Structure 1
Amino acid sequence: MFNKNKNSENKTIDGTATLLDFIAPSALKITPNYMQIGEKFTKTFFIFTYPRYLNTAWLSPLINLDEIIDISIFIHPADSRDILKNLTKKLAEVKSQILLQTERGLVRDPILETAHRDIESLRDKLQQGNERFFKFGLYVTLYADTAENLGKQEEKVISLFESKLIYPKTALFQQEQGFHSTSPLLLDKLVTNINLNTEPLSTTFPFISSDLSANEGILYGINRHNNSLILFDRFKLENSNTVVFGKSGGGKSYATKLEILRSMIMGTDIIVIDPENEYQYLAETTEGSFFNISLTSEHHINPFDLPIPTEDEKPEEILRSNIVSLVGLLRIMLGGLTPNEDVILDKALTETYASRDITTDSDFSKMTPPLLEDLETVIKGIEGGENIALKLQKYTQGSFSGFLNKATNINIKNRLVVFNVRDMEEELRPIAMYVILHYIWNLVRSKLKKRLL
């Protein structure tokens, strides 16, 4: 299976590992009726008999089965001319059998009469172009941690098929070919196909599952298609981000608040940026923290705050990252920066931190971060920084001084934290959002845990 082509680019000098060496399992065992790949046991079987009539969504129980399963469907178009010849020949055989039984005076055989009607109907549809014939192969591979569990899964799957008069068979001595056939390689190594026309083939369409449920997580609602519960844990998905769309008054806020409450029960921390003051009551009811960020608010966030470095971070990286973030903030506050002003600010910010004895070798947990007014003082002493210092006075001494020129006095310890920006002036709202998001990012990076923002 994982053979190395001597003429391929993977050929290396003695002792050098290739890509195949890294992706290949530690061990591989192939037996007549199962395979062991590393620590996993696999078993492949194929379907060899179908009933006369297939219901729509007959694959649904298998697709919705709570087991690790690979299913491959191969559909190979067949030449209608060859099929018509075979049908004509088969029809003649059936007719002759019916005539022989009639001549002998035997009781009519309903099986032969049904076959006669089906063959004639199918032949007519093929001649009229209403149907086409295909060679259809359905292969299923099961996975389990032990051979015993593999056997239990096999019994469960086989019972599902046999309840619909569909009969599977283990791919004896072809487990390797079966594994390849159910891998995403587009290879039909088993080549065990059944002839199906268009109508029954359409019932094998696999995307018919309407269940939106998992074994764990929070309740999101009820599936209107089948009245089943919608349960899932967003943190176990490949990407846990979500977006909520809906018309005005459709229940977006209600659904979001309900998810917040149920997530808190499961131990998840919640951080909300509230532009319309919708979450104050929720925060107060759940004994959470509510911070009103505005010019006249008693709650303040100092953009010069530095997070405590984690085990895989260096103080130098933290300080440099925060200086870059502050340059971005000042670019918004000052309405843009020239290249010369950018250089001046980068130098001034480093000196501002140094004025509080904060350097790349400092212990940030024991240091008091500077304020915006400290940056203004430093810039005044730098050649070419007079214009920047003048612009900063609006935020340190002017009408906006109550917003950014204060030490941080909020403490996030509760499970639910709400930042309200409704009362913030429109001109300052982008700045407030920038500061809040930077504060939240420093919080998130300092301690990894389940959080919803």
Structure 2
Amino acid sequence: MLKKLFSFGKQKEGETGEITLEDTVDINYPLLNTLAPDSIQEKEGQLQSGDNYTKTFVVTSLKGQIDANDLRQLNEISDNIDFSYYYEEMDEYQIKKQLSKSIQENKTKRDNPNAKPSTKTDAEAEIKSAENTLEKLSFKQTKMFNLQTIIKVTANSERELDVLTNKATTIFSSIGRPINPRFRVKDAFDSSLPFATNKLKNFSSTTITSRTLSYFFPFHENEIIMSDGIILGKNRATGNIIKVNSENLLNKHMFVVGISGSGKSTFLFADMMRRKSFGYDILVIDPKGEFGRPFIERGGKWFKFSNEKGGNMLNMFDVPQVSYKVDESGEYQERINPIRDHITSLMVSFKLMYPNIDLDAQNELSSVLIELYKDFNLDIDDDIDFTNISNEDYPILQDLANLIDSYKKENLENGNRNPKYNPERFERLANFRKGIDKYIDGGLYQHVLNGYTNVDTTDKSLIAFDVSAVTDIEELNKVVYYNVLTYIKKLILNGERNKTQVYVDEAHYIADPDVPIAMKNLFIMMKVFRSLNCGVTPATQSISDFLSAEEKGRNYGEAVIDQSIQRIFLPMLEKEVEEVNDKLNLKLTEENKEFLKVASGDVVEDRGKGFLYVGSKKVKIEVILTELEHKVWAEKNYEDLE
């Protein structure tokens, strides 16, 4: 296009120099009109440049104290409103002289017995401000500048010009007074062009410090564009893409929240596919069965866990080859006993299975688990090479039930005395034994957890662990969900530290207020994974449930969120917006809260919008899909993946 624009007037040998109709077919006239308008017409207060209408303002009387928050709205304007800044350093001697004079004049006002209280207060504030600036100048901590700000508004019609003008002046009026040089519109227009020619020098300027001046620079714009990063979406304020390079952050963890229909799953899918293209292994707990089919079409794996006979199975008694202990910051400390570490995870699973287990039964059960592993030649005190242990070498849930049952049998079937006979131990575990009856042979859920692991994870580059078949079974979903999470932990611990992202969708399923240790284990897992080149993305549509797991005054839902350097907040119900803002200390303005709120029962009109935090930096994000991602995710069209 630019070649066509700039070829006008360049005559080649043998050409007549005339422009034919065919030459203009593909011309971008709005762009051409901006670069080279066919006419410029001055009107009172505005100027018409070709088909564009412009109005220019000079800002006077900036308020005395300006900070970064005052200019945030200006930096986020995406309309055709441009700002030009002319500044020059002031002579230090002259500025000290002016400040001294100002101090003396304000002292006179303050000490005037007839002055109003408000006048005295204002004078005292001016004195303190001037004295503070003088002190900084004396210690070379600041410099003073004259600043002149010019605002140019451009529109395609006079009506649009009026709308944008009102918007610009309203926003800027909070920090200064924009005036329109009605009889010098061409000079004002020229001064707004990128030629560093100020034709309005005689208009008033404002004296500011170097610190305040820094806030006006365009580098202050609220953008997140990291080199070699992955595109997360579009900046709703500026229209630019948002790119984040997790490799350069403290960790790769990300937290995502948004109600049903907010675009949460769409964002997760896009993030998975883009990370996959960057060489990440992708492991997903899929409680809604959304990701399995796209994964299969892209050469991944789809494991389904249900109560149907012959389905996929993850044996909860499988032990990782290694386990690690980390400090509070997530840094590696030492290797620990894998069986001992895994028994801790098993105790969480059993509390989810049978929440009423008492302390005596818990203590007894932990000893029984040690005995169970020993019966299978896996002694907790032995130095075992778990790389040589097959799936069938581990006990299963039925074996635990059989061991507990053996404590009440005085004699074996052959008539010999049973060496495991221990009626007191059985009595302490009797209620727990009844509680797990539904999960073993002959029980209602016998095909969910009672068996050997039968999934092949040799290639773990793209795996969906689909638990949708049990999501609506309240007494089962937490147990299965946590079991899958524990198995993923085993994969990461056993792995070769390839770049990996684990997605824990609808993570509120393990946020049980009666068993807070489940969420605590997710928190600990995230600390461990950080040192293993792995990130975790917990996601939820229910922030209230997610924040429900507390123990001894510590909220482990909050702890998980705090572990996440990247956080995405998509539309939520009003009460959840308030809860998130209060508990996470987001300090959202009322405008920002309204941006996220969705009234109960309403359809989310603007799905995929929200806030992205990377550390302390915040931008408005809009989730966008590529054409191929849209075909696969929205249209379920998998032909282009073949």
Same fold (TM over 0.5): yes
* Structure 1 residues 293 and 247, CA gap change in structure 2 (3 angstroms): closer
From 367, 379, 391, the counterpart of 2:404: 379
Looking at structure 1, the residues matched to 335 and 133 of structure 2 have their Cα atoms a distance apart, in angstroms, of: 63
* Structure 1 residues 133 and 314, CA gap change in structure 2 (3 angstroms): closer
CA shift for structure 1 position 363: 2.3
Contact 2:229 2:246 in 1 (8 A): yes
* Structure 1 residues 215 and 82, CA gap change in structure 2 (3 angstroms): same
Looking at structure 1, the residues matched to 366 and 465 of structure 2 have their Cα atoms a distance apart, in angstroms, of: 29
Give the corresponding residue for 1:341: 361
| Cα deviation 1:14-54 (Å, max 9, x = unaligned) | xxxxxxxxxxxxxxxxxxxxxxxxxxxxxxxxxxxxxx999
| Cα deviation 1:55-107 (Å, max 9, x = unaligned) | x99x99xxxxxxxxxxxxxxxx999872337999xxxxxxxxxxxxxxxxxxx
Give the corresponding residue for 2:92: none
Give the corresponding residue for 1:437: 485
* Structure 1 residues 335 and 228, CA gap change in structure 2 (3 angstroms): closer
CA shift for structure 1 position 407: 0.1
Give the corresponding residue for 1:180: none
1:449 and 2:498 are equivalent in the alignment: yes
Looking at structure 1, the residues matched to 271 and 283 of structure 2 have their Cα atoms a distance apart, in angstroms, of: 13
Contact 2:323 2:336 in 1 (8 A): no
Query: SS at the partner of 2:453?
Result: coil
Amino acid at match of 2:445: F
Query: SS at the partner of 2:347?
Result: helix
Give the corresponding residue for 1:399: 444
Query: SS at the partner of 1:219?
Result: strand
* Structure 1 residues 396 and 314, CA gap change in structure 2 (3 angstroms): farther
Give the corresponding residue for 1:200: 208
* Structure 1 residues 249 and 338, CA gap change in structure 2 (3 angstroms): closer
Query: SS at the partner of 2:468?
Result: coil
Contact 1:134 1:196 in 2 (8 A): no
Give the corresponding residue for 1:29: none
Q: TM-score, normalised by structure 2?
A: 0.41
Give the corresponding residue for 1:423: 469
Looking at structure 2, the residues matched to 351 and 244 of structure 1 have their Cα atoms a distance apart, in angstroms, of: 41
Amino acid at match of 1:204: S
* Structure 1 residues 83 and 241, CA gap change in structure 2 (3 angstroms): farther
Give the corresponding residue for 1:118: none
Give the corresponding residue for 1:277: 289
1:318 and 2:338 are equivalent in the alignment: yes
Q: How many residues were matched structurally?
A: 299
1:365 and 2:410 are equivalent in the alignment: no
Amino acid at match of 2:462: L
CA shift for structure 1 position 235: 3.1
Looking at structure 2, the residues matched to 320 and 236 of structure 1 have their Cα atoms a distance apart, in angstroms, of: 34
CA shift for structure 1 position 225: 3.5
Looking at structure 2, the residues matched to 78 and 238 of structure 1 have their Cα atoms a distance apart, in angstroms, of: 45
Contact 2:313 2:454 in 1 (8 A): yes
Amino acid at match of 2:396: L
1:84 and 2:109 are equivalent in the alignment: no
CA shift for structure 1 position 393: 2.8
Amino acid at match of 2:499: K
Looking at structure 1, the residues matched to 138 and 387 of structure 2 have their Cα atoms a distance apart, in angstroms, of: 63
Q: Which runs of structure 2 are paired with 1:250-289 in the superposition (5 Å)?
A: 250-289=262-301
Contact 1:78 1:134 in 2 (8 A): no
Contact 1:283 1:418 in 2 (8 A): yes
Gapped regions of structure 1 (runs ≥ 5): 1-51, 61-76, 89-125, 138-186
Looking at structure 2, the residues matched to 247 and 400 of structure 1 have their Cα atoms a distance apart, in angstroms, of: 30
Please say which of residues 368-377 and 243-252 is displaced more in the overlay: 243-252
- Percent same amino acid among aligned pairs? 25
Amino acid at match of 1:420: D
Q: Which 4+ runs in 1 deviate beyond 6 A?
A: 77-81, 85-88, 126-131, 310-316
* Structure 1 residues 196 and 292, CA gap change in structure 2 (3 angstroms): same
* Structure 1 residues 345 and 79, CA gap change in structure 2 (3 angstroms): farther
Backbone CA RMSD of aligned residues: 4.0
Query: SS at the partner of 1:423?
Result: helix
Looking at structure 2, the residues matched to 203 and 321 of structure 1 have their Cα atoms a distance apart, in angstroms, of: 56
* Structure 1 residues 337 and 246, CA gap change in structure 2 (3 angstroms): closer
| Cα deviation 1:351-400 (Å, max 9, x = unaligned) | 11111111132322233111111111221233332514343332212111
CA shift for structure 1 position 320: 0.6
Q: TM-score, normalised by structure 1?
A: 0.57
Query: SS at the partner of 2:469?
Result: coil
CA shift for structure 1 position 422: 1.4
Give the corresponding residue for 2:312: 299
Give the corresponding residue for 1:356: 376
Looking at structure 2, the residues matched to 129 and 353 of structure 1 have their Cα atoms a distance apart, in angstroms, of: 75
